Structure 1
């Protein structure tokens, strides 16, 4: 178990060779998230390792996305990662570095199958003959709310940044890693004069609030309304484990205004 002692980390560009480690960090971090556990009870696979790995492979090369890793200065281990995408900004202004290695040949994606830089709901098969179940309804609700956020709350005529993800390995949480990643992204936004938007998990809300993000919209979910079964012994829930309830989970759409003195227009 981690000691809780703060560690020194370096923020470095993320490479293709780092993808398996970073995808595993994402999977481990979300494995104790009740919202993710419930979504994994649906008929469609919801494997956070696969989702994270696919997103990296599809977007790591794009010059409208910045990805970094947090490396423990003492051990050289990757202990966290983060990514941001940009909308409406001249690409020449984006401080893109990109991966320092080549994309594995076996992972080359067919042209035209890349994902958009903006956050959006997960892609799933359109099975019109299958009866919609409760997890389908949960996905549909979240997808619709995400699209409302992007269409109605985020100005389309103003350049901005989106947090694509900011994940810390469970063994290194509360040790300064997340703060280092947060400061890195905020510094980019301040330098460019950009508002940063994030679709925050329930657990990350306080951290984003600490670093200047303000809640603009909430989606309050009663997980028990959608879960096909009650939580089993040992599974993480939002409240008392003895209640046999998953509990309420709040997704927050948040923004952070840039400090004065930015350069982007």
Structure 2
């Protein structure tokens, strides 16, 4: 199958929103009941996604487009934080914000359990604490925020191609790479050098357990010896 990787635009969000419902169909019933949700709720959630995308810097999200059909088959997006990022919300406030818009089908207990685990683990891995042990900043980093593929196009290397493009476009930053992975996604990230540093397990309202793994990848650093007429100098460090 031939496909082209292009920048993701706000005009693409309705299509990627519909694709996400298929990509995450297995887990969505833990967060929404009944699922699929109503057309009214779908419209509200889509508006929320459009609002989030408007705040994204340009060229930090990509799509893979099937050349034959013109349909989007996979997407990836990330954020680049060149300075430590102040923490402005408690875990509870961050989870509450993530539950907006609060549609009637929302399963609050399951949603809260999953996203509390995600936010707590995130603070443990990339948080900077003050003298009282309170997380006040997040470390400078490149954070992979989303990556998913249409179910009919999975296991064809498209997601991996987006990952390689992501690494290519961010390798000059010299920043740590950070992401949160599902159990299915973890082996894919490990193959390209991400290291699992923490796993958090959470339990949905129906008693089923799941987990999220927090992963990092250090920037590549190569050292070269500088030679001049005066002999060897100290190594120079270059971000690869």
TM-score, structure 2 as length reference: 0.69
Aligned to 2:186: 205
- Post-superposition, which runs of at least 4 consecutive aligned residues in structure 1 deviate over 6 A? 45-49
Which structure: greater strand fraction?
Answer: 2
1:153 to 106, 111, 125: 125
Cα distance in 2 between the residues matched to 1:262 and 1:51: 40
Q: Does 1:169 align with 2:150?
A: yes
Query: How far does residue 175 in structure 1 lie from its aligned partner after superposition?
Result: 0.8
- The CA RMSD over aligned residues, in Å, is 3.2
Structure 2 CA distance for aligned equivalents of residues 49 and 204 of structure 1: 28
Mark the runs of 5 or more structure 1 residues left unpaired by the alignment: 1-6, 91-119, 127-134, 228-245
**What's the offset of the Cα at 1:51?**
4.1
Matches of 2:199 and 2:32 in 1, distance apart?
22
How much does 1:136 deviate?
3.1
State whether residues 81 and 167 of structure 1, in contact with CA within 8 Å, keep that contact through their aligned partners in structure 2.
yes
Q: Does residue 1:182 correspond to 2:196, yes or no?
A: no
- Pick closer, same or farther for the CA change 1:78–1:125 going to 2, 3 Å: closer
Match of 2:8 in 1: 14
Alignment counterpart, residue 216 of structure 1, candidates 162, 177, 197: 197
State which drifts further: 21-30 or 206-215. 206-215
Match among 172, 175, 182 for residue 191 of structure 1: 172
Question: Is structure 2 residue 56 aligned with structure 1 residue 80?
Answer: no
Match of 2:212 in 1: 251
Q: Which runs of 5+ in 2 are unaligned?
A: 85-93, 128-136, 222-237
CA contact (8 A) 2:122 2:214 kept: no
Q: Give the structure, 1 or 2, with the largest relative contact order (CA under 8 Å, sep 6 or more).
A: 1
Q: Say which SS state the counterpart of residue 239 (structure 2) adopts.
A: coil
Larger radius of gyration: 2
Residue aligning to 2:112: 140
